[in-house]
Structure 1
Amino acid sequence: MSASRQHQAFRVRELYRDWYRSAPEICALYALNVSPNVVRAAIRRQFEANLHIEDAGAIERLILKGRQSYQETMNCWMQEPHIMGILLKPQLQQPRTFMQKFLEGRDEEAVIPAAST
């Protein structure tokens, strides 16, 4: 393993460690109704999704994007729906098919008619 590859691996481990250790603080900052272990599992899934990447440039971009996302999260620049969408929704939400979306339709009784003149 080359020196630059070792340095990248170190930076990835460091980023993962920062995210992992901050899980309780993230739950408290955003008042999430999930435990820190659920957040940690979601973080691990995000990192494992990119294990197959070999290109040094792509790895570098992912490290920078991960660090930026971490800083934005810890500075409270994200909102609770962002956190839930980024970390937790892919695991919890089943994708809907076209037919399911079509059959859900629109609730006609919830629509307020325009005022008549």
Structure 2
Amino acid sequence: MTITPARLATVTATSGTYQNARQKVLALYRDWQRAAPTIITEYHLDIPTSAVRAKIREEFEKHRYVNDLRLIDILLFKGRTEYQETLNLWKFSTHLLNYFEKEEAGPKPAGFLEKFYGNANFKIEKIIR
């Protein structure tokens, strides 16, 4: 696939009404969902399509209740930019895998010493002995 930077470029415009902004958000969401199989193929990811689509939905759900039109326009711009960078292969697969890494991480340490010893290459038992 040849990479044409302007292929996915869109004009950034402000949304005049909430209905107009909603249409733009839905169009971006559909574009991301349609691109999920292409992303998996192009980046050689070992993740099922359903997991990628679920992650896309989760990222959109984070901002579901945003009511400020200016903020919606900024989020649309960032979403389109991410979409263009992803499909033009301007990212490494590690950038995409960072989205999925957060789920696999275990429980976070609660106290200071647990955090400190968790970052070290040895365990607490070695220090005590």
TM-score when normalising by structure 1: 0.81
For residues 47 and 22 of structure 2, the distance between their equivalents in structure 1, rounded to whole angstroms, comes to 30
Correspondence for 1:52: 65
Unpaired stretches in structure 1, ≥5 consecutive residues: 108-117
Identity of aligned residues (%): 36
For residues 115 and 53 of structure 2, the distance between their equivalents in structure 1, rounded to whole angstroms, comes to 32
Q: 1:35 to 1:99 in 2, by over 3 A?
A: farther
**Does residue 1:22 correspond to 2:56, yes or no?**
no
For residues 51 and 80 of structure 2, the distance between their equivalents in structure 1, rounded to whole angstroms, comes to 20
Unpaired stretches in structure 2, ≥5 consecutive residues: 1-15, 123-129
For residues 102 and 73 of structure 1, the distance between their equivalents in structure 2, rounded to whole angstroms, comes to 36
Correspondence for 2:48: 35
Alignment of 1:1-117 (within 5 A): 4-85=17-98, 87-94=99-106, 96-97=108-109, 98-104=112-118, 105-106=120-121
**Amino acid in the other structure paired with 1:64:** F
Alpha-carbon distance, 1:99 to partner: 4.1
TM-score when normalising by structure 2: 0.74
SS in 2 for 1:52: coil
For residues 95 and 80 of structure 1, the distance between their equivalents in structure 2, rounded to whole angstroms, comes to 25
- Report the RMSD for the aligned CA atoms in angstroms: 1.9
